[in-house]
Chain A
Amino acid sequence: MATRIELKRVEKRYGAFDVIRGIDLEIKPGAFTVFVGPSGCGKSTLLRMIAGLETISDGDLLIDDERMNDVAAAKRGIAMVFQSYALYPHMSVYKNLAFGLETAGYPRAEVDRRVRAAAETLQITDYLQRKPRALSGGQRQRVAIGRSIVRDPRIFLFDEPLSNLDAELRVQMRVEISKMHERLGNTMIYVTHDQVEAMTMADQIVVLRGGKVMQVGSPLELYNAPANEFVAGFIGSPKMNFMPVKTEGDGVMLAGQRLQVGHALTAAPGTPLTLGIRPEHISVGGEGASLGDGRVELVEHLGGSTVLHVRPAGDRNALAVVLPGQQPCRTGDTVPMRVDPAKCHLFNPDGSALRH
């Protein structure tokens, strides 16, 4: 049975500086959880608190219902892959893998068996006698993962492990880590600032900002029903378009036009709200409610899709529009924009989403 992690009102302070501000979180057994957020949001600190590398200022960390706040890092049954890999430069790959087991006092034969098994799985058997500096970035990454596997931990933690790799290797390692999770079934937590990594790998995403949890959910939940403006803007690329609107009956007024939104509005008429529409949900000349006409300012041909930057009539911000396939649009064209009202998001002035 995989391991369950629970955080209860966890806080971290450095002097007067709050880094983590009261986080309540349950990490499901066996899930691949990704902490994502902009830099400085506290995601790495939170991970390091779970690992035992940072003390917990307040609140409780429970692993399988056991309080772990004051348990030494090595006794929590956790392995961690570091951003810089943190391979011991003076030891061979073999020694790097064996070091933790030797420290724990495993018999030599057992150490050897485990090291060789891990090396086999990660296809690094040929490099076992080399020093880390003689390895490529990808090979180092594998050794770092191997070092976490040999100890047979309950939980794996990854701290931005792919950020030092080039784009191609990153995609490849992403797949390998996902496969490793499927094969082992352990609880894993993965920290990244890259929302694509988060979306592709996670069972459960935790979006953090300023030391607080903004939303927890599966990738599609976050995409379809962001709890607030921040998550809506953070998840999805290109970014969601935001427009200031005012309520008007059961719809909203956008630049003098009434837009019928797919759900009932209870707010008083004239309440300022923010309307959010994902670029891929805007169509040109299709069905749905009209967003008015706009002038194309820039066209980006991506092959599989086309991104338009369209400035609507009036003094409004340009909208990003993603159209499927290759479109014959040109800069300067005027296009009629439409949207399916059911795909519109509305946010209160405090940023929270108006629920359906």
Chain B
Amino acid sequence: MTDASNNMPGLQPKHPRLTSTLRHALLIAVCFVMIYPILWMLSGSLRPPEELFGGDAGLVPSQVTISAYPDGWFGLQISFGRFFVNSLIIAVLSTIGNVLAASLVAYAFARLRFFGQRFWFALMLGTLMLPYHVTLIPQYVLFRSLDMVNTWWPLILPKYFAVDAFFIFLMVQFFRGIPRELDEAARMDGCSPWRIYWKIILPLSMPVLATAAIFSFIWTWEDFFGPLIYISEMRNYTVQLGLRSFIDSSGTSSWNELFAMSVLSLVPIFLIFLFFQRLLIEGIATTGMKR
């Protein structure tokens, strides 16, 4: 597949239609291979457990049963409903924190003038490169001393301090694109920096705020490491932790239930992807960042 790329950038291929058809065929093949595992998981969640392994690589179950869904949902001492609600609360609160804090800070960097601005900006960019492992243990000690272990606070609070520089960077890039004359007109209209931020910059930044909110939500939803180290009691579990427990507690017999719960855990992300994929793709393309 990779060596095919060498032939691709040609502008005037000898057989344009053939090349185009080949290209589409190749792309569709790649798409199929990529999506197949996900479809296989979906189909697996609808099969009777004994059918999953036994050499059937196809997607069509011999008999469709949705029993894996309710069985899996109540498969642990605490139902997945609880985990979903927990994850949702954490993700929503984190998202609000990220968008609020990052937009404030980004506004300072993009629009205000203050002593040491370049220095702080460079530091902020520097933290993008810093692996979180360096801060992990002292942060754990800190939250432990605040008696916050086994609560959601260690997962939520840092977002209100704009710890993830990615979002600041994303917004600074966008804010810089808003004509400065608008700020100046607002200043002539008597606006304070706060009012310019609230009445001019934020309303004009809806696309980037939405992008940040979506990424924030998805990453918090998918986060496994944070909950893994901070949350110990099952009633506080997130969906990701719930899935992990499910693997540990169930044998091979209930793989269909595990698949069912896995599928459900992906549904929110998939829905967001369905409705907002354009924003996500633009967000990545403009900042060039990714997890």
Contacts and interface: CB of A to CB of B under 8 A. Distances in A.
Complex: A in contact with B (CB within 8 Å) = yes
A104 B181 contact: no
Interface in A253-271: none
A99 B190 CA distance: 9
Interface size class of A (residues with CB under 8 A): 20 to 34
Contact of A78 (B181, B185, B188, B204): B188
A82 B185 contact: yes
Nearest to B113: A55
Interface string A123-140: 000000000000000000
Contact of A79 (B182, B188, B203): B188
Nearest to A148: B188
Contact of A89 (B184, B188, B195, B204): B204
Interface of B: 179, 181-182, 184-191, 195, 199-200, 203-204
A103 interface: yes
A79 B184 CA distance: 11
Interface of A: 51-53, 72-75, 78-80, 82-84, 86-90, 99-100, 103-104, 147, 151
A84 B179 contact: yes
4 A-B pairs closest in CB distance: A74-B190, A100-B189, A86-B181, A86-B185
A75 B190 CA distance: 7
A86 B189 contact: no
Given A84-B179, A89-B204, A53 B184 contact: yes
Contacts of A103: 189-191, 195
B187 A53 contact: yes
Contacts of A72: 187
Contacts of B203: 90
A80 B182 CA distance: 12
Contacts of A87: 185
A86 B182 contact: yes
Nearest to A48: B184
Contacts of B187: 52-53, 72-74
Contact of B179 (A86, A90, A104): A86
Given A74-B191, A99-B189, A88 B182 contact: yes
Contacts of A89: 182, 204
A51 B200 CA distance: 20
17 contacts: A52-B187, A53-B188, A74-B188, A74-B190, A74-B191, A80-B184, A80-B185, A80-B188, A82-B181, A82-B184, A84-B179, A86-B179, A86-B184, A87-B185, A100-B189, A104-B190, A151-B189
